[in-house]
Amino acid sequence: MPFRGIREDIRMARKNDPAARSNAEVFLAYSGVHAVWGYRVAHRLWNWHFFLAARLHSQLVRALTGVEIHPAAIIGRRLFIDHGMGVVIGETAVVGNDVVLYHGVTLGGTSSVRERRHPTIGDRVTVGAGASVLGPVSIGHDSIVGANAVVVRDAPPNSVLTGIPARVRPRTASSVAETFTDPAIYI
């Protein structure tokens, strides 16, 4: 299982980053991929109730990669964090499968009460550079969050979210058919 996950993560990086020239390059030099692997170790420690060890490990990974993922967060398969620096994923966040996060993304909370206070991100969602998704909101499957958007409300599947605060629009057939899927084009 662990080796299959590593291969999946490398394939996801190669699929979503045209600058990735080889599997070895991704394995050795992609801090976003390393952050996800570090999270998986910390998450396992968290689930075994080694809370301090999990937090210390996650902080070491943060220092090495610039990506902070709380060990209690729930992250699906094949998360790709492109460039990584400044990404923050909070304690009660849930991230689906095949999600792409660009640098500077925050999946943050809006409350200090011990409850669900971070977002839920559906499958196949892309979150653009600098975007913030705040509070216990849900972003539906196959949605795109534009760069620097601030999302504070739920969005249904197949949405495009742009602006501050983010407005929700349906994805059109033409936007789905576009081969260039960089969320920055929706600003």
Q: pLDDT for 27-45, tens place per residue?
A: 999 999 999 999 999 999 9
What is the pLDDT averaged over residues 132-137? 97
Q: What percent of the chain has pLDDT over 70?
A: 90
Token pair 């849900």 is at which residue? 138
Angle 46-49-54 (CA atoms, 0-180°, nearest 5)? 35
Separation CA 160–CA 147 (nearest Å): 11
What is the pTM assigned to this prediction? 0.88
- Domains along the sequence of the chain with CATH: 2-186 (2.160.10.10)
Q: What pLDDT is attached to residue 179?
A: 41
Q: Which residue has the tokens 């600003």?
A: 187
Can you read off the two tokens belonging to residue 45? Answer: 């420690």
Q: Which two tokens stand for residue 106?
A: 């925050």
Contacts of 143 (CB under 8 A, 6+ apart): 122, 125, 126, 155, 157, 158, 159, 160, 161, 171
Q: 1-11, pLDDT tens digit by residue?
A: 456 789 999 99
Summarize pLDDT for 58-96 with one digit per residue, the tens: 999 999 999 999 999 999 999 999 988 999 999 999 999
Q: Are 33 and 65 in contact (CB under 8 A)?
A: no
User: Is residue 173 very low, low, confident or very high in pLDDT (cuts 50, 70, 90)?
Assistant: low
The gap between the terminal CA atoms of the chain, to the nearest Å, is 39
Q: How far apart are CA 147 and CA 61, in angstroms?
A: 25
pLDDT at 171: 87
Q: What is the dihedral of CA 130, 131, 132, 137, to 10 degrees?
A: -160
